[in-house]
Amino acid sequence: MADGVSSKSLRNFDRALKEYLRYNKRETGPLIENRAKRVQWELYRQFKAIAPTRDKIEQEAASRGYAIRRRMGPDGKRLSVKKELALRKRSIRYLSVSYLFRAWRANRDGQNTQFSAKSRRNKQIGEALIRTAKGKRRPFVRLTSFLEGVVAQNRKRNLVDKALRAQTADMKTYVRRKQQQAMKRSITRIFT
């Protein structure tokens, strides 16, 4: 996940996570897994949001007089425009699916496992490596997309940074709420 991520976003996320861990009573491993699951869904949403619609693909091709870039077929010849458009429409959410791990269910006790995101052709396009079982000294989760398009779109749009910033803001809201509750308890104790 660190490819193409600004160090500032990563530092802010790490700082917020450390603060979040201080105010949460759950064990570190399962808590990190829970946060990673939220980051995973945010990445999925970010990449899904940039996907064009079927109509937009058709309109863009029509606006160019169907003179679009076409990929090479298995026979070494360029695909027809019709076939290229069909393939583009089929792969609308391909980038976002690389962060969709359907089998991943958060576990209250953490877990040591690995999940894969697969394409329609059963090719691995993403991976979640989870090492958060209770008692693990340094729990971690690593989310990886193996698609070149993810890297290219992230470079253009900073989608991973946006996902990290959204989760950082969410953790800061939680911490702020916990700090306010602690302050209210302290004030109540003083004046009662």
Q: Tell me the pLDDT tens digit for each residue of 74-125.
A: 899 999 999 989 888 888 888 999 999 989 988 888 899 999 999 888 999 9
Q: How far is CA 102 from CA 42, 109, 115, 126, in A?
A: 15, 19, 8, 12
Look at the block and give the residue holding tokens 């962060």: 99
Domain spans of the chain, in order of start:
7-51+93-191, 52-92
Q: CB of 111 within 8 A of CB of 89?
A: no
For position 32, what pLDDT does the model report? Answer: 93
Structure tokens that stand for 148 in this block? 């070149």
Q: Tell me the pLDDT tens digit for each residue of 145-164.
A: 999 989 989 999 999 999 99
Dmax (CA) for the chain in angstroms is 83
Q: Tell me the pLDDT tens digit for each residue of 173-182.
A: 999 999 999 9
